Structure 1
Amino acid sequence: MAVSTAPAVLPDLTATEGRPFGIYIHVPFCATRCGYCDFNTYTPAELGGANPDGWLAAVRTELRLAAARLADPPAVQTVFVGGGTPSLLGAAGLTAVLEAVRDHFVLAPDAEVTTESNPESTSPAFFGGLRAAGFTRISLGMQSTAPHVLAALDRMHSPGRAIDAAREARAEGFEHVSIDLIYGTPGETDDDLLRSVDAALGAGVDHLSAYALIVEDGTALGRRVRRGEMSAPDDDVLAQRYELLDRRLADAGLDWYEVSNWSRPGGECRHNIGYWNGGEWWGAGPGAHGHVAATRWWNVKHPAAYAAALAADVLPVADFETLDADTVHLEDVMLRVRLRSGLPTAVLTEPERRRADTAIADGLLRAAGDRLVLTDRGRLLADGVVRSLLS
């Protein structure tokens, strides 16, 4: 894998025929910083003069330059607006973001258009405006309904607001509404988690993502754990919580389609499936990553530096790399084995197939036709399964 050292000027890019193509747009703004978060986000005090209006102008320019850099841009099958807190832009701001995409790219007739939203910055009018603009999917960050868990995570929304927001989105015509949970927070109980899952199900969502709490270096949570003010998540507890929520979701008709994601039939996030299945995308916004053919790149992180580059009509690429065959193979195995649709055995080398046979004998994988699928136990040890296949 060759990494560039010269100033990052992307080559002309040609999307690979037959692969899904999406656009990811990163909104870097947050009202406050959650204690566990290490994403590329900024509170008002950290913006250094950057603001949403300047960010939107820069995104418009990046999308124009992106369309020019891509040879024969393909139809966009998915758009995902993430962050940060995209809902801080309001319905009008997010409508302008989608209009900027449409100005420079052609959306497929059945394009999936998603935005993440913080429950506290949503309302029925917000969801109605998004639906009218052409958004098709809402992803709400809930994390938990337990007040003490939200406090440990430094989440600012009230315990019931995410559930109300999910119901409001459904009432405004959104068929696809997703809720994010975090499990394993110190102080959380089994009942806390199950009440959160049941609340989400009661709101009528058709998709749920659940992630084990990870203590990242450089976060407020990481500092509290390092000082001994809070215990680190326990691996055995995390496994138990995963099994609890998986059973509850399966009983309610939501099946796993990726290790950390469950949905009703048709509720899967197509944008994320594109990432896992080798799709291609343009990432716009500060710190956003893109991947087309063998080229992967990432933008400068700070919103002020991002806007300054685009004010000069230059793509704000911090660096890029050209993926070699070994890297592509490693990532293909690492991502596709996490999917319920499974890892095609044809992508494995002969030594890897022998190691897969061992994983089958150990009860971590099962053969499903010409594919390998994680067992229930294998899902708990998915990272280890990947390492065993590739070692």
Structure 2
Amino acid sequence: MGGPLPLGDPAPADGRFPEGLPVDASTPFSAYLHVPFCRVRCGYCDFNTYTSTELRGARQDEYADTLIREIELAHAVLDDAGAVRPMDTVFFGGGTPTLLPPGDLARMLRAASGSFGLRDGAEVTVEANPDTVTPDVVGTLVDAGVTRLSIGMQSAVPHVLAALDRTHRPENVSSAVRAARDAGLDVSVDLIYGAPGESLADWQCSLDAALELEPDHLSAYALIIEDGTKLARQIRRGEVPAPDDDLQADMYEAADRRLSEAGYAWYEVSNWARSDANRSRHNLAYWRGSDWWGFGPGAHSHVAGLRWWNVKHPAAYAQRLHAGESPAAGRERPDAQARNLERVLLQSRLSEGLPIEQIAESRRERVAGLISDGLVDPAAALRERRVRLTLRGRLLADAVVRALTD
């Protein structure tokens, strides 16, 4: 069910923005629609998700109608601020969005599109567990306007999937990709590396299996142990080993090498695409600091520097909206120092790099040291005035951020 919500200021019951918030209606706008339901909780997962036994007072079959109430509230708030504008991207995440009937996802998308509009060529993504994808499901999503399916493959090796508590059948990944392709959708697959008991050979097997699917986009994330998860407890009790940092580094290098050979280019530390057109425009909106509204329990939003987050449990979320109140639990306006840290943290992870002039003047001389350490591309720094990570820099991205902000 995820970690605790951030501390912040109380959010008003009507959800209105603070007086004088400098909203710019020309800033790109995205929507994230959170579907917090899962059949089984994966041992590594720290997302705000719930199995059927954890819902307590919330009904999955009423969820779409509840979320549509937040869409209506968001329209009123943005309209009051003069900031209603078409969505550039929409992303259904979770949880497992495809646990809901596809007609429910279609209704939520129609409600959002009807309230805000959808730009021509907008990217509309749905995350999916491979076992929930069928031609009928995909057909309904395409008819609703979905353009992209992101499939949670994680691994092609049964014992690795078991270590992650993933319950899907590996062979269903290829059938899910085929159904999406036949319907004309772009396809992304997600992989995780560094699971307990996973060898470098296991990881290479998963990479090869993923590339055989010829996805347009591939994400590869190092397993991170989050406090409060089943996997964290297993490691603490000595039942399974903790991830090996050196092995994970070898796995990352293997992924970058194999994907580059297959024609994929990295554009963010953990993401590769066949072409610029296949990059996740929704995630780029986060990394570039655009505006977005996060709908659903525990979802986070950002407009014009104002951040807020919703109550976590689906029952509390529904209760507030049915009472005509905003589901926001709190909000904040980070100061200039916090915004600078976030900008460096996010933009330095992109292949386009971080403009050096966006680094605090007192830290810019440190770029030379990062070049000497092999962490930053010297040509990009000297010719383009940008901090662009080398392969070694991607492995040590957190150290680069510390050097540029501490």
Query: Which TM-score applies when normalising by structure 1?
Result: 0.97
**Residue-by-residue CA offset, 1:81-134 (whole Å, 9 max, x unaligned):** 100000011321211111111221111111110010011111111112211211
Picking from 330, 344, 352, the partner of 1:333 is: 344
- For 2:360 and 2:403, the matched residues in 1 are separated by 13
- For 1:228-377, what aligned pairs fall within 5 Å after superposition? 228-265=238-275, 266-367=277-378, 368=380, 369-377=384-392
Output the amino acid matched with 2:104: G
Picking from 105, 108, 111, the partner of 1:94 is: 105
Picking from 195, 199, 217, the partner of 1:189 is: 199
Q: Is the 8 A contact 1:8 1:320 kept in 2?
A: no
Q: Is the 8 A contact 1:359 1:385 kept in 2?
A: yes
Name the structure 2 match of 1:65.
73
Q: Is the 8 A contact 2:10 2:329 kept in 1?
A: no
Measured at CA, do residues 117 and 6 of structure 1 come closer, stay the same or move farther in structure 2, by a change above 3 Å? closer
Query: How many correspondences in the alignment?
Result: 390
- For 2:57 and 2:345, the matched residues in 1 are separated by 40
Picking from 60, 63, 77, the partner of 1:55 is: 63
Picking from 158, 163, 178, the partner of 1:167 is: 178
**Residue-by-residue CA offset, 1:323-362 (whole Å, 9 max, x unaligned):** 2111111101110000000001111122221112211121
Give the percent of matched residue pairs that are identical in Structure 1 and Structure 2.
53
**Residue-by-residue CA offset, 1:3-23 (whole Å, 9 max, x unaligned):** 314766644366434432100
Output the amino acid matched with 1:328: R
Picking from 15, 19, 34, the partner of 2:27 is: 19
Output the amino acid matched with 2:386: R
Q: Is the 8 A contact 2:11 2:329 kept in 1?
A: no
Measured at CA, do residues 69 and 6 of structure 1 come closer, stay the same or move farther in structure 2, by a change above 3 Å? closer
Output the amino acid matched with 1:229: E
Q: Is the 8 A contact 2:15 2:325 kept in 1?
A: no
Higher mean alpha-carbon deviation, 97-106 vs 38-47, is at: 97-106
Q: Is the 8 A contact 1:290 1:296 kept in 2?
A: yes
Output the amino acid matched with 1:52: Q
Name the structure 1 match of 2:404.
389
Measured at CA, do residues 173 and 5 of structure 1 come closer, stay the same or move farther in structure 2, by a change above 3 Å? closer
**Residue-by-residue CA offset, 1:163-211 (whole Å, 9 max, x unaligned):** 221122111111x200000001121122211221121111120101011
Measured at CA, do residues 5 and 104 of structure 1 come closer, stay the same or move farther in structure 2, by a change above 3 Å? closer
Secondary structure in structure 2 of the residue aligned to 1:335: helix
1:119 aligned to 2:130?
Answer: yes
Q: Is the 8 A contact 1:212 1:238 kept in 2?
A: yes
Output the amino acid matched with 2:48: N
Q: Is the 8 A contact 2:11 2:328 kept in 1?
A: no
Q: Is the 8 A contact 2:30 2:292 kept in 1?
A: yes
- For 1:2 and 1:45, the matched residues in 2 are separated by 28
Q: Is the 8 A contact 1:282 1:291 kept in 2?
A: yes
Higher mean alpha-carbon deviation, 85-94 vs 271-280, is at: 85-94
Q: Is the 8 A contact 2:200 2:247 kept in 1?
A: no
Secondary structure in structure 2 of the residue aligned to 1:374: coil
Output the amino acid matched with 2:327: P
Q: Is the 8 A contact 2:46 2:226 kept in 1?
A: yes
- For 1:68-79, what aligned pairs fall within 5 Å after superposition? 68-70=76-78, 71-72=81-82, 73-79=84-90
Q: Is the 8 A contact 1:77 1:111 kept in 2?
A: yes
* Unaligned segments of structure 1, at least 5 residues: none
Measured at CA, do residues 135 and 5 of structure 1 come closer, stay the same or move farther in structure 2, by a change above 3 Å? closer
Name the structure 2 match of 1:152.
163
**Residue-by-residue CA offset, 1:20-39 (whole Å, 9 max, x unaligned):** 21000100111110111010
Q: Is the 8 A contact 1:47 1:304 kept in 2?
A: yes
Shift of 1:160: 1.8
Output the amino acid matched with 2:102: A
Measured at CA, do residues 104 and 348 of structure 1 come closer, stay the same or move farther in structure 2, by a change above 3 Å? same
Q: Is the 8 A contact 1:294 1:324 kept in 2?
A: no
Output the amino acid matched with 2:9: S
* Unaligned segments of structure 2, at least 5 residues: 1-5
Secondary structure in structure 2 of the residue aligned to 1:3: coil
Picking from 387, 394, 402, the partner of 1:379 is: 394
Higher mean alpha-carbon deviation, 115-124 vs 363-372, is at: 363-372
- For 1:116 and 1:272, the matched residues in 2 are separated by 13
Name the structure 1 match of 2:230.
220
Name the structure 2 match of 1:35.
43
Measured at CA, do residues 374 and 227 of structure 1 come closer, stay the same or move farther in structure 2, by a change above 3 Å? same
Output the amino acid matched with 1:373: R
Measured at CA, do residues 30 and 142 of structure 1 come closer, stay the same or move farther in structure 2, by a change above 3 Å? same
Query: Which TM-score applies when normalising by structure 2?
Result: 0.93
Shift of 1:374: 0.1
